[in-house]
Structure 1
Amino acid sequence: MFDVDLTSLRPAVRDVTFGEMLDVDLAAEQDFDAVVCKRRADGAIVGSLAAFQGLSDLVGCMKRGHRYTAVIVKLGRTACRVHVTRKLA
């Protein structure tokens, strides 16, 4: 579907590995819905999907019940890029 860099990286990013699959979920942050990527093992938030074209469409799809996953395709000391796809069934 698309590749995007995670923003607002959290400490959990230190415990992920290249190729790891993350869950994509909606989370309430302050006064808006945020799209976050979480580790499957413990649900810890790794970072957020933000400021990219199509974000509002993604949020709308998630609110309608569509589910997504993200695979880590690039991982560095200060950056994490993921490939986001829609879960089938």
Structure 2
Amino acid sequence: MSVQALAARAGLSARHFARLFQHEVGITPAAWAEEARVTAARRLLEAGQDAPKHVAARCGFANADMLRRAFSRHVGLMPAEYRRRFAAAKEMAG
């Protein structure tokens, strides 16, 4: 959802909504949405073998490159490396 759509739903202007959101949550609506998408991508990468372009599409990223950049920013790893490390840790634990 866009900031405009969220603002309209709350009955506020987009600018006022973004200001209130940042005051209450501590980050911008766009940053919050990106964090939520990365969290969803992490779960999909941990749970299966979907290709990055499918994970990106399911999590609301425009393409796999946008997923890689956001994932790297938030997690510090590329999605493929995250999946490898998660799988290795899972093997060692189980």
- Tell me if TM exceeds 0.5: no
Q: Which has the larger share of helix? A: 2
TM-score of the pair, normalised by structure 1: 0.29
TM-score of the pair, normalised by structure 2: 0.28
Q: Which has the larger share of strand? A: 1
| Larger relative contact order (CA 8 Å, sep ≥ 6) | 1
